[in-house]
Amino acid sequence: MGRMGLDWVTPYDTAALLWFLVLWVGYTLYTDHTPARHRTISSAISRRRTLWLREAGHRDLRMIDTAILGNLITGVGFFASTTILVIGGLMAMMGVTAQVRTALSSLPLAGAASEAALEAKIAFLLAIFIYAFFKFAWAFRLANYCSITVGCLPASAHADSERSRAISQAAAVLSIRSGHHFNRGLRAYFFALGALGWLVHPWLFALVSTGVVIVLYRREFNSQAVIELRRLEETESRSD
């Protein structure tokens, strides 16, 4: 086989990779495509986005809203530009796999790996970050589209008009979709931390990936932040 053939793949590598994919795909399906999605912090924030942009229609001075939009765009842009740097670093690593292999071999848990194996693992990391970049780039564009749509809101005197409500709803959808893709990009970053373990040992790859899902689940469903948001929604529903 050629240098990038599959002769380097061990049963441990295969098992760890399959476990990683099951975790990522399974967690994404559970969090984004089952009834459990309504209990996530992302869902709670999406409802906040809708309420925020509905309230924006009742304000004549929208400096608060433009400041929020600017902060959101800056955050997404930061991750998009950072991801480009990470991709460049990984591409540079592909050209010095011999040195990287030597450096990794000094780690306590590092197993023996050929240069072909190391190149394939770096390429796998590269694919994850390319995916993350596309998510961040699309989130950035949607955040800009949301800003433009908010700029179309009429004066507060017409806030209850059908046109104003339609613009607020469209802006909310754009903001929610931007947040959705941004969250997918961040999730890729978390799982990339698990994939880093593959450079050392397949079992570390599987272990860290499992830990990533535990951390993500706790923060998405049981963190103090989501508890406070649920409490806020309950208070608002009682006041209505």
The pLDDT value recorded for residue 104 is 65
| pLDDT, average across residues 84-107 | 80
How many C-alpha atoms does 161 have within 13 Å on its Cβ side?
11
Compute the distance between CA of residue 224 and CA of residue 140 in angstroms, rounded to an integer. Answer: 28
Query: Which residue from 32, 223, 236, 22 is spatially nearest to 135, judged by alpha carbons?
Result: 32
The Cα-based distances of 96 to 47, 91, 101, 127, 193 in angstroms read 48, 9, 9, 18, 21
The kind and range of the H/E element at 64 are helix 63-94
Residue reference for tokens 């790996």 = 113
| pLDDT, average across residues 97-124 | 73
What pTM was computed for the model? 0.89
Q: Quick: pLDDT tens for 41-77.
A: 999 999 999 999 999 988 888 888 999 999 999 999 9
Q: How many CB atoms lie within 10 A of CB 1?
A: 8
User: Is 80 in contact with 132 (CB distance < 8 Å)?
Assistant: no
The pLDDT value recorded for residue 105 is 66
The pLDDT value recorded for residue 111 is 59
pLDDT: is 101 or 201 the higher one? 201
Query: Is the model's pLDDT at 1 over the cut of 50?
Result: no
Q: Quick: pLDDT tens for 172-231.
A: 999 999 999 999 999 999 999 999 888 888 888 999 999 999 999 999 999 999 999 999
What is the separation of C-alpha 224 from the centre of its chain, rounded to a whole number of angstroms? 20
Q: How many CB atoms lie within 10 A of CB 145?
A: 16
The Cα-based distances of 79 to 147, 174, 176, 220 in angstroms read 19, 19, 18, 20
Q: What's the helix, strand, coil split of the chain in %, to 5?
A: 85, 0, 15
The Cα-based distances of 35 to 32, 38, 43, 67, 192 in angstroms read 8, 6, 11, 33, 27
